[in-house]
Amino acid sequence: MTTALGTLEELPLDYRSDVQREHLAPLWPMLRNVLPHDAPNPVTKPCLWAYEPIRPLLLKAGELTPVEKAERRVLVLVDPGRGPGAIR
């Protein structure tokens, strides 16, 4: 049984906003484009990802995306200087 990866648009808008606010991005919708070897963008900014505000978002990722849509539910640490577009 093959199921396409879930998309960002399938996630609730408030969850996407919360994830973005913490400089995170769900990996499962972008799994095929995670390592863009052909277009590096070295613009970076420092950021501290504290576990306490991120933990509820990690737990909710497991609730929102069933295993049928994503074998692994991963949130990616997003460099605030590059933004989530850096992994697309």
> What are 44's two structure tokens?
């970076």
Q: What is the DSSP letter of 41?
A: -
According to the model, what pLDDT value does residue 33 have? 56
Please check whether residue 40 lies inside any domain of the structure.
yes
d(CA 58, CA 26): 10
* Percent residues over pLDDT 70 in the chain: 76
The residue ranking higher by pLDDT, 41 or 7, is: 7
Please check whether residue 2 lies inside any domain of the structure.
no
Question: What mean pLDDT comes out for the span 14-34?
Answer: 83
d(CA 63, CA 11): 11
Residues ≥6 apart with Cβ < 8 Å to 55: none
Question: What mean pLDDT comes out for the span 45-65?
Answer: 92
According to the model, what pLDDT value does residue 2 have? 39
Please check whether residue 1 lies inside any domain of the structure.
no
According to the model, what pLDDT value does residue 45 have? 87
User: What is the domain extent for residue 73?
Assistant: 8-87
The residue ranking higher by pLDDT, 69 or 88, is: 69
